[in-house]
Structure 1
């Protein structure tokens, strides 16, 4: 087995960790994702991970209800730290050496984000979870995922979702939705496809960093992705 991607940035939404629950962290889903990550770590893949916070608190939603946007986003960033610590616990319980680095310093529970230290952890085979987004309000965890991928020089950004790729419309509500196998960054922006926010797409485009959108709820999909098997939708130049 030959790895196509040696170092990856895995972006997992906070909502994905809810499973079928209304909110919070579903431990069954958490353990499943941890197991999928362990499979690729055993292959020798270096894994960086960014987790959203939609299962706990979404800044945009708070702002839409009258809360100050910067305050709401700061709360969302703290929620990503909670998810990151939960994922670290799930990974360490199955003997995957893990470090959490936060863009907002909180030394008593995790490391501060330092790019060179993060790269060194990856080189030593440790999975690094990047928490607290970019550390700044008004930026989503999608943008944070792309930013960290560029900083650690990941080979690909894997956006793990509940859908098996990118469609021209919502496949859940539209039986005639068409799945794209490949897209360019321009396609995503011009068609208004809701893959990730425009800032994240623009960042990836500037560095020509490929994005793979795939269904993380299917066992073995992340493994297939790093081995170069056809899975999901690839967005590239």
Structure 2
């Protein structure tokens, strides 16, 4: 395996599957199988999931809601998604732990860095919920921060597109995909990979990012095995 410890970032929208909102159980089950295949190869896996399929704080703010209140609601949405994925992972017989930045003793453990690392060392899949626990920060930032804290080898951003393009490939048929970019290339070209806080954290800590299509069966395993999948930023 090319990587020993990874952080997988999934968007909340990815869990919708073909639905317009909410959670598609079949899509979550597919992700669980993909994660199990990678875990079976001895890779330590941590996961951060967004909450945009249920609630997006930034959108609520535009409608007049207090931003801090809206962001906390978004954090709770990420916990719902995390619980759904945890259930799917346990159905394929993976041992999991859900750690959140907001205390919810009845359903998860509080995030403690040493505890998270120990869970990974014991072969458990660790899911980080509730973002960073602070408003004004996205789950992209949470993914970058947690990856740095647990000394992950790479951040794998699983999306519905197969990498970073010159423009949105869903809207522009002439868009071309990059195979590899430097952090400076992203700045210079003004490309959207993660929010700038998350991206800068990775840059300053020399943590590579790979953007890839998580929905294509087998992609996740091939990527961890070292095949050129998606777009590498380093």
1:119 alignment partner in structure 2? 117
2:53 alignment partner in structure 1? 55
How do residues 142-157 of structure 1 correspond to structure 2 at under 5 angstroms?
142-157=140-155
Which consecutive residues of structure 2, in runs of 5 or more, have no partner in the other structure? Answer: none
CA distance in 1, matches of 2:55, 2:187: 27
CA distance in 1, matches of 2:61, 2:186: 26
1:164 alignment partner in structure 2? 162
Once the two structures are superposed, residues 48-78 of structure 1 have per-residue CA deviations (whole angstroms, 9 ceiling, x without a partner) of 0000000000010000111000000000000
Of 189, 192, 195, 1:194 maps to: 192
Structure 2 length-normalised TM: 0.99
1:68 alignment partner in structure 2? 66
1:11 alignment partner in structure 2? 9
Once the two structures are superposed, residues 75-121 of structure 1 have per-residue CA deviations (whole angstroms, 9 ceiling, x without a partner) of 00000000000100000011010000000011111000000000000
Q: What is the Cα deviation at residue 186 of structure 1? A: 1.6
Once the two structures are superposed, residues 173-217 of structure 1 have per-residue CA deviations (whole angstroms, 9 ceiling, x without a partner) of 211101101111121122221111010110000011000000001
Structure 1 length-normalised TM: 0.98
1:173 alignment partner in structure 2? 171
1:34 alignment partner in structure 2? 32
RMSD between aligned alpha carbons? 0.6
Deviates more, 1:70-79 or 1:179-188: 179-188
Q: What is the Cα deviation at residue 225 of structure 1? A: 1.0
CA distance in 1, matches of 2:49, 2:190: 23
1:13, 1:52 within 8 Å by CA — same for their partners in 2?
yes
CA distance in 2, matches of 1:107, 1:4: 36
After TM superposition, which residue ranges in structure 1, 4 or more long, deviate above 6 angstroms? none
Which consecutive residues of structure 1, in runs of 5 or more, have no partner in the other structure? Answer: none
1:189, 1:198 within 8 Å by CA — same for their partners in 2?
no
2:180 alignment partner in structure 1? 182
CA distance in 2, matches of 1:201, 1:14: 19
Of 107, 110, 117, 2:108 maps to: 110
